[in-house]
Every structure is written in structure tokens, then in C-alpha cells.
Structure 1
């Protein structure tokens, strides 16, 4: 069984929690990072000594650095990180958009991803580590006026650039790009769409690939 260490943002629910659950089942140690301390503590309690709750703000570089330092102090190193935290918008399109909400979203979906990569990279270099980014089907096609989609286009473009950068130390980067997933991201349940577990399996598939294989993107869509 693996004893590798994985840091996950947006870990308190949805895709992040499902990925943590599957990773722990496969022997990984997980660092759970999110704002919701209560949810993180409950999840960490479920996993026992295989997990560490790391409450913090993804839009704060120093918060992420401190969390990662605490996790690495426990595990001895970092093998992978999953920049999964993200948010959507209540208003669609450009004219109907809320400028303050746009700023919050860019803080999470763009800067939050950059901060996760910046904070984890020194540790990943030491172990030829793996970076996972949560992209989206919305980052692979054009949607009328979608500012959210544009933030995911950034993730896809940056992920490709990061793959090239990480080659220098034998590292890899994978963008996990799902279509609609049944999570709290949506106000109404979506039982016929992808489940968080589907995305978690894709993440672990990428992490488990032979070191000779760089899985640059996994694109998942619901059959319905």
C-alpha cells in the first residue's frame, strides 16, 4: 500500500471530500484544506491518522503555505496536490454579472489555484510530484458570456503550461475536467449527472499512472 501524501483544497465536501475518501482507501495520507473547520474535523475524524484537517482560506497564499508546512511536518514530504477549490456565479453573462462576485470568483478559481501551486511546488520538486487541477467542461467550450467558464479556460491553459514547467523535475500536471457534477455547487440536486466519486476515480487514475505516463487531462461527461 502507498504511504504517499496528498494535499487537497476544497476538501470539506463534494469532489474534494470524495477524492480524500478514495485516496485514504488506497493508502494515501491526506491534508484537508478548506474554510469550513467543522466539516474538515468531521472528515478527518472519519479517516483517523491518515488525515489532517487544515482550515484556511484558499485566496490567502500565507494561509496555504502554513497549512502545507504543517502537513509536510507530519508526513515528511508531499507527493501530490489537488487545487480543487472553486466557486460559480449567481448571475449569467456579462451585463447581468455582479462585479464584486466576479472578483471573489477570480480570487478562488484563478488566484487560489496559483497560490496552491506556488505553495506546494517546492515540496513537489523534492519527490517529482504531481499536481491536479479541477478544470471543467466549461473551460473546453464557449458558453454565451460565461465569466465562470473563462476562469476555467485559465485553469486549462495554465495546466498545460504547468505540465511543461514540471517536466524539468520529473513532475506531472493533470487537469480533471468534469461536466455537471451532483454537488452543493448547484442549488438543486442533480442525481442523473456525474457524482463526486466519478471525479475522484479520475483523480486517482491520474495519480496512479506509471511515472512514464503524463495524463495531461481527463475529460468526464454525464451520459444523460
Structure 2
């Protein structure tokens, strides 16, 4: 039976690139995001290995229903990639927008926690993996970056979860890229990392032998 991967934030950027890379190596992929049109287009490109699962990562029930549907179709869950995330339009604490902070924390933190909480019972059955998108901004202090603070949480959580999952043979990895040329930014940044670069790092962890627990892959643009 082919392995199955659930991806949040799958409609574009890193999530879509990872879905393509995983499907190319034989994985079934559950594509979870809010944009049905984008997911349908990606699924048509990938083929029968892909399942479209629309929903909001900040809504626990949406993720629960999506994972249940994915397992119903493919029989098991071998890995999840908690990739959905967002930033804010204004930086800094004094000049920031608390409503934007709330939306960002709900997605970057609670969304990733929901994925982990819901996936664990399934991943125990397959001795599976949890992968989450961190950031270079979660590895160093950046003046006034509330976004970076959410990624500090992710890096800390991933390390703690790795120890928790290790008790039953599961693995947890945080992928922490520097700037990536994705729709996250308003302007193209072709000299930075590409989504395929991050997807390759995720696949390295997914394809690693059971004896190797890859806990973090940190990528930066050259120079």
C-alpha cells in the first residue's frame, strides 16, 4: 500500500511543491487549504494520488474531517506536513495590528497544533512522521517580529514533540527556510530559495530510513 501524506497550506508555494514531489515518488497526498479552485487545479495535475480537502486550518473540525476523509480513502496516514502559515502587513509591536496578530497566531500556532493533535492516533499506527514549517525567523531575533515569535514557538514545539513521538518510534522534523520565493511575498524574489528547495528537504526527512530521526533542516539562500 502506498504511503499517505496530509499537507496543510497545499494550494500554492511550499505546500504545492511538496505535494508534487511526494506524489512523484509514489505517495498519496491529501491537499488541504481554503481555495477549492487552486486545489482542484493541483489535483488535476497530480492525478489519482491526490485528494482535495478544502477547509480552514484554524478550524479544528475542518482538519479533523479532512484527515478522516483522507484515511477513509487511502486506508492509513503515514505523515503530515503542517505547512499553513501567514505573516502580517505591519511589523513591530507598537505599530502592529493586534487583530492581525490574532489571525496569525491562530494559523501559525493553533493550526499546527491542531494538525499534530489530530494526526497522532493515526501516526502511531504507522510509526509515522510530523513535519512542520518553521523559519529562519524562528532561529534568531528580528527587531519587532511577531511573526518570528510564532516561529520560535514552532521550533520549540517541534523539539518537544520529537521527544514525545520518539517514545513510540515516531519522528518529528521542522524545516526552517530563509526567504522563499512564494506568494507569501507581494513581489517576486527569484534570487531567493524556491519552493522546490524546501520540498526536497521535506522529502529527505520523509524518505529517511527508520533509524534516522532528522529533527531539523535549515536552508538559506546562497549568499
TM range (shorter): over 0.9
Q: Which runs of 5+ in 1 are unaligned?
A: none
Cα drift, residue 216 of structure 1 = 0.4
| Cα distance in structure 2, aligned partners of 1:21 and 1:47 | 7
* Aligned-residue offset at 1:142: 0.3
Listed as ranges, the matches of 1:51-130 within 5 Å are 51-130=50-129
TM norm structure 1: 0.98
> Which residue pairs with 1:22 in the alignment?
21
Instruction: Report the Cα distance in structure 2 between the residues aligned to 1:153 and 1:21, rounded to whole angstroms.
Output: 28
User: What residue number does 1:198 align with?
Assistant: 197
Superposition deviation, residue 166 in structure 1:
0.3
Tell me, in whole angstroms, the C-alpha distance in 2 between the residues paired with 1:27 and 1:48: 11
Does 2:163 align with 1:164?
yes
Distance 1:215 1:93 in 2: 33
Q: What CA distance in whole angstroms lies between the structure 2 residues aligned with 1:38 and 1:120? A: 26
Question: Would you say 1:135 and 2:134 are equivalent positions?
Answer: yes
**Offset at 1:64?**
0.2
Q: Structure 2: give runs of 5+ residues left out of the alignment.
A: none
| Alpha-carbon separation, structure 2, partners of 1:46 and 1:191 | 24
| Cα displacement (A) at 1:168 | 1.6
| Structure 2 residue 5 is the aligned partner of structure 1 residue 6 | yes
Dislocated runs of 4+, deviation >6 Å: none
* Partner-residue secondary structure (3-state), 1:88: coil
Specify the alignment match of 2:220 in structure 1.
221
Q: For the aligned residues, what is the CA RMSD?
A: 0.7
Render the CA deviation track for 1:73-98: whole Å, top value 9, x for unaligned.
01100000000000011111100100
Q: Distance in 1 between matches of 2:122 and 2:64?
A: 11
- Tell me what 1:177 maps to: 176
Measured against aligned partners, the alpha-carbon deviations of 1:159-206 in whole angstroms (never above 9, x if no partner) come to: 000000101211000000000000000011000000000000000001
Matches of 1:47 and 1:99, distance apart in 2 = 39
The offset of 1:116, in angstroms, is 0.6
Distance 2:46 2:143 in 1: 42
Task: Quote the residue 1:40 is aligned against.
Answer: 39
CA offsets, 1:118-175, max 9 Å, x none?
A: 1111110100000000000000000011100000000000000000010121100000
